[in-house]
Amino acid sequence: MDTRRQQIASSSLLLSNCPEEVAAPLLRRAVVKRYSRGQILFDHGDPATSVYIVLDGWVKLYRITANGSEAVVGVFTRGHSFGEAVALRNDVYPVASEAATDCEVVLIPSADILSVMHSHPEVCIAILSSTFAHLHSLVAEIEQLKAHTGAQRVAQFLLSLTDQETGSCTVTLPFDKILIAGRIGMKPESLSRAFSRLKTHGVTINQNHAVITDLSHLHDFADDDTGLDGPGRRVSL
């Protein structure tokens, strides 16, 4: 693993709180793999033997529901880790994982992590921090689903793609619109309506790019907890 990959993996929540003398050996024994878009990393029910850190690209976690539709559980990109909780219990993966784009990931054997947890108890704190971060992310997603309209959720997604707070910018949609819809709990046709509604808030979609004319205004719209579009009228998407 070269220096760039080591830096990305070391900055992940899983390893950022680990002492260097612990993280370095873990990464030396880790495996770097590349996956093409649509390729399966692991399937629902596979033995959970590794923890994953994304080096480049996007990876989605999903389940197939009883009616055959796909429910997106999470989407991860550079520096994000996943699979910690089940891998460290020697359990099976409760979801499937697929490359949403061409991607590169690090696989750290769970046996190696368990070994250093016994010899370096402080590593347990890092694992707990990572697990709690995933939990807080899920809580935030539930809050978005319950307290914000579809257009607001799309706005929040677009804002997550830029570090700018003010001014204008153009962001690249990292994966296809069907996955974006699944990621934020919408149907594709509802996503299209949400994109149309965001035109009045300064957002123009051009293929896989979103042009945002006023980030401050979009932040205000995305964070508005009244859920209203005009006096006393709730938007339904």
- Is residue 153 over pLDDT 50? yes
User: Which amino acid, 192?
Assistant: S
236: in domain: no
User: Which amino acid, 6?
Assistant: Q
- Is residue 140 over pLDDT 80? no
In a shared domain, residues 158 and 133: no
Domain boundary among 90, 125, 145: 145
Question: Which residue(s) pair with 98 in the sheet?
Answer: 40, 60
State the DSSP string of 87-126: HTTT-B-SSEEEESSSEEEEEEEHHHHHHHHHH-THHHHH
- Which CATH number characterizes residue 206's domain? 1.10.10.10
Tokens of 228: 């209203």
Domain boundary among 95, 111, 145: 145
In a shared domain, residues 136 and 35: yes
Domain boundary among 89, 115, 145: 145
In a shared domain, residues 170 and 85: no
Q: Residue 91 sits in which domain range?
A: 3-145
pLDDT at 27: 93
209: in domain: yes
In a shared domain, residues 48 and 102: yes
229: in domain: no
Separation in Å, CA 82 to CA 51, 79, 113, 137, 171: 6, 10, 14, 12, 25
In a shared domain, residues 58 and 128: yes
237: in domain: no
Q: Give the pLDDT confidence of 178-217 residue by residue, as tens digits.
A: 888 888 888 889 999 999 999 999 999 998 999 999 999 9
pLDDT at 231: 36
In a shared domain, residues 26 and 45: yes
Tokens of 156: 């929040």
- Which CATH number characterizes residue 95's domain? 2.60.120.10
Q: Give the pLDDT confidence of 87-138 residue by residue, as tens digits.
A: 888 899 999 999 999 999 999 999 998 898 888 887 787 777 777 776 777 6
CB atoms within 10 A of CB 48: 20
In a shared domain, residues 185 and 160: yes
